[in-house]
A and B are shown apart, each in its own frame.
Chain A
Amino acid sequence: MTYKLTHLKELEAESIYVLREVAAQFERPALLFSGGKDSIVVTHLAYKAFYPLRIPFPLVHIDTGHNFVETIEYRDALVEKLGATLIVGSVQESIDTGRVKEETGYYASRNKLQTVTLLDTIEKHKFDACIGGARRDEEKARAKERFFSHRDEFGQWNPKNQRPELWNIFNGKKNMGEHFRVFPISNWTEMDVWQYIYQENIPMPSIYYTHEREVFLRDGQWLANEACMTLKPDEKVVTKQVRCRTIGDISCTGLTLSKANSLEDIIDEIAATRVTERGGRADDKRSETAMEDRKIAGYF
């Protein structure tokens, strides 16, 4: 027998260690579940970390109201299967109660509004650690992120004065009102995530696989023709074979023209692609430091 872990096993062991640290160090943790592949993997890891115990924290979904139907169906089925608790923070409610103002125009998105709903939900339930599926390889500001990332009482991130994180010792100490964001799959890449899904045979929402959909082209991106989208006069709706490479809010999720019908197809497609997954995310394109700015404000 050779005593060597494969990269997937080593990443899994690291992530499970981080999840168990959260359960041990915090009183009221929560797992932020978006229905995307990354949070699905984190949920799977949490299931494995505590088995035969149920996942010892609730799943929290910040619902923009602009979700793909398939995402919500998948979420509800998963919660049922795991016997987990689901808490939904609604952006629509934040709009209705006047906490935030809806953007208008062709580029209107609820992506940014989520931050307020998220911080309100954290405060309401007194969560002291929110586990997320963000990865360092996704985006340059996220490359600077810690596993245990401190947030001040305004929910803000201070990238220039982060706590050093050494070896595998995670410091989750904080003052009242402050909280942590925890990213167990920090060290995973998009490829690792898909390989792991394949290895563990994790069921995925159908929109990750190829399907026919009404779409339109905007700024080089295919977007879904859904009720929440307003078409410019020159934009035409066509039907294409597409799939999602990342899943966010409908308004900012670019669809990939793809015939990938299985996990093997998806892995092959990612191995060959020359564009990053967030290349299709309109929310990152607003400025060069769009992610850093949103993260400082308290975004995922």
Chain B
Amino acid sequence: MDKGYLDMELLRFTTAGSVDDGKSTLIGRLLYDSKSIFEDQLEAVETASKRGGNEEVNLALLTDGLRSEREQGITIDVAYRYFATPKRKFIIADTPGHIQYTRNMVTGASTADLAIILIDARNGVLEQTLRHSYIASLLKIPHIVVCINKMDLMDFSESTYELIKQKYHEVIEKLQLPDVKFIPISAKLGDNVVTASANMPWYKGCTLMELLENTPIDHKLNTEMMRFPVQYVIRPISDKFHDFRGYAGRLSGGILKKGDAVTVLPSGLRSTVAAINQCDKELDDSFTPDSITVQLTDDIDVSRGDMIVGDSDQPVVSQDITMMVCWFNERPLLLRNKYIIMHTTRETVGIVKSINTLVNINTLEAETGGDSLKMNDIASITIKTAQPLVFDSYKQNRTTGSLIFVDPDTFETVGAGMIS
């Protein structure tokens, strides 16, 4: 057995682009060329393609799983796909690109380390390209790969590619995107997806797969700011573990070591890490994003929703929170309305104090906020919470800087907030 496979890293990425850009075809191509598609899946897709009247195998059918998606030929919901190469394991959040599905795009982007933005070489940079790029920047996806697709329909022309690239640099500047790479591809024919294109010898860069395999993932770790939201208190009632009092949770930032001095927020009580446990093992140190159980030297009051942090670089503790929000529900967000706020492991109620500015998603201009937000609106708002939240800005920490809005009547998740 090749033991090397036990030691891979995990990269989560998302794809933005509409059906017409060939997004599902691209994913189908990645799966197909990395041999992640099985014979029975391919057979099922071939049968379904023929039934749908397609002459060629429609690779998009590999990702569109729901009946209505297959009927309408569109992606409605986020679908997750998996494949692995000898180097890495990948999780794809495949999201629909239509404007009415902004919420799904935001959902897929929330956990992504990398975003693929597809541009149809025939159309160049469109409003929707701007929209997709904006969402990637709003959700702080660290790496962006712009795939200029359908190069086969433009005679694999280098000047077309260069022109689009140039145009996209305006987007980079406008959104201050940190790391952007460009690749000319043909998802349908496979050029530069997994294998280098013989049709575009002028392109000297890597294939998409090479990029996916080599993009660094270490941004998850912020070694300075230790954040440990307490999820569950473990207190077994047994003779053997009579005095055991463990705080279970998942590290959301930094490194935690045995013997570290820590502060519990919002109470401000201080203690020292007595032990870090992982099942029956004791660890000297642990790091983000591992799940652990922490024991403290002092018997202090700590419960779910509290956050254990390091003594330096502490997060903000406040009831007044300004954030960018993306609204998800047909029921509009209304000024003065109350919502359940879920943030890390803490839950409280928040009232909307002000809608500061509304983002015009097509021009990215900030407009004056009114007194409500519609589904798919993105805006800057300020809320006041019943209990203080312990948070960082989303820019600093995607876990401690994010929260969701839950409708107190329907219990649906109605909005996503990224703390400013």
Interface of A with B (CB < 8 Å)? 1, 3-14, 16-17, 20-21, 23-24, 47-54, 136-137, 139-141, 143-144, 159-160, 162-169, 171, 173-175, 186-187, 189, 191-192, 195, 198-199, 264-265, 267-268, 271, 273-276, 279, 288-289, 292
Q: Which residue of A lies closest to B7 (CB)?
A: A6
Chain B, interface SS category: mixed
A17 and B404 in contact, given A49-B291, A279-B40 (Cβ under 8 angstroms): no
* A52, B238: Cα distance in complex, Å: 9
A159 / chain B contacts, CB cutoff of 8 Å? 66, 77
| Contact (Cβ within 8 A) A10 B412 | no
Contact of B231 among A24, A139, A163, A288 (CB under 8 A): A24
A24 and B304 in contact, given A49-B248, A289-B67, A292-B66 (Cβ under 8 angstroms): yes
* A189, B90: Cα distance in complex, Å: 10
How many interface residues does chain B have, given as a range? 35 or more
21 A–B pairs (Cβ distance < 8 Å), ordered by A: A6-B6, A6-B7, A7-B10, A7-B89, A54-B236, A144-B77, A159-B66, A164-B104, A166-B107, A168-B399, A169-B403, A173-B340, A173-B411, A187-B80, A187-B82, A264-B1, A273-B38, A275-B39, A276-B38, A276-B41, A279-B40
Q: Which residue of B lies closest to A5 (CB)?
A: B290
A1 / chain B contacts, CB cutoff of 8 Å? 285
**Could you say which of B231, B249, B290, B291 has the most chain A C-beta atoms within 10 Å of its C-beta?**
B291
| Contact (Cβ within 8 A) A166 B291 | no
A3 / chain B contacts, CB cutoff of 8 Å? 218, 221, 223, 255, 287-288
B255 / chain A contacts, CB cutoff of 8 Å? 3
Chain B 6-42 interface residues, beta-carbon cutoff 8 Å to A: 6-10, 38-41
Interface status of B372 (Cβ within 8 A of chain A): no
Contact of A143 among B10, B79, B398 (CB under 8 A): B79
| Contact (Cβ within 8 A) A189 B40 | no
Question: What sequence of 0s and 1s flags, for each residue 215-258 of chain B, a beta carbon within 8 Å of any chain A beta carbon?
Answer: 00110010100000001101110101100100011100001000
Interface status of B84 (Cβ within 8 A of chain A): yes
| Contact (Cβ within 8 A) B10 A20 | no
Question: What 8 A-B pairs have minimum CB-CB distances, sorted nearest first?
Answer: A140-B65, A173-B411, A279-B40, A16-B291, A264-B1, A7-B10, A166-B110, A13-B291
Q: A6-B7, A21-B231, A191-B5 are in contact. List 4 more A-B contacts (CB 8 A).
A: A137-B82, A164-B416, A187-B82, A289-B66
Q: State the Cβ distance, B320 to closest chain A Cβ, in Å.
A: 21
**Could you say which of A4, A49, A143, A198 has the most chain B C-beta atoms within 10 Å of its C-beta?**
A143
A292 and B67 in contact, given A4-B218, A17-B231 (Cβ under 8 angstroms): yes
Contact of B38 among A175, A192, A271, A275 (CB under 8 A): A275
| Contact (Cβ within 8 A) B111 A189 | no
Interface of B with A (CB < 8 Å)? 1-2, 5-10, 38-41, 44, 48, 63-68, 70, 76-82, 84, 88-89, 91, 103-104, 106-107, 110-111, 217-218, 221, 223, 231-232, 234-236, 238, 240-241, 244, 248-250, 255, 277-280, 285, 287-291, 293, 304, 328, 340, 342-345, 398-399, 402-404, 406, 411-413, 416
Q: State the Cβ distance, B194 to closest chain A Cβ, in Å.
A: 18
| Contact (Cβ within 8 A) B236 A171 | no
* A273, B280: Cα distance in complex, Å: 36
* A276, B8: Cα distance in complex, Å: 22
A189 and B82 in contact, given A10-B289, A159-B66 (Cβ under 8 angstroms): yes
A5 and B289 in contact, given A136-B82, A167-B110, A173-B411 (Cβ under 8 angstroms): yes
Contact of A144 among B1, B66, B217 (CB under 8 A): B66
Q: Which residue of B lies closest to A188 (CB)?
A: B82
| Contact (Cβ within 8 A) B240 A141 | no
Q: State the Cβ distance, B98 to closest chain A Cβ, in Å.
A: 14
| Contact (Cβ within 8 A) B91 A13 | no
| Contact (Cβ within 8 A) B411 A175 | yes
Q: Which residue of B lies closest to A291 (CB)?
A: B65
* A160, B218: Cα distance in complex, Å: 35
* A152, B240: Cα distance in complex, Å: 42
Contact of B84 among A16, A52, A191 (CB under 8 A): A191
Q: Which residue of B lies closest to A161 (CB)?
A: B412
* A174, B89: Cα distance in complex, Å: 34
Q: Which residue of A lies closest to B109 (CB)?
A: A166
| Contact (Cβ within 8 A) B244 A17 | no
| Contact (Cβ within 8 A) B280 A169 | no
Q: State the Cβ distance, B383 to closest chain A Cβ, in Å.
A: 16
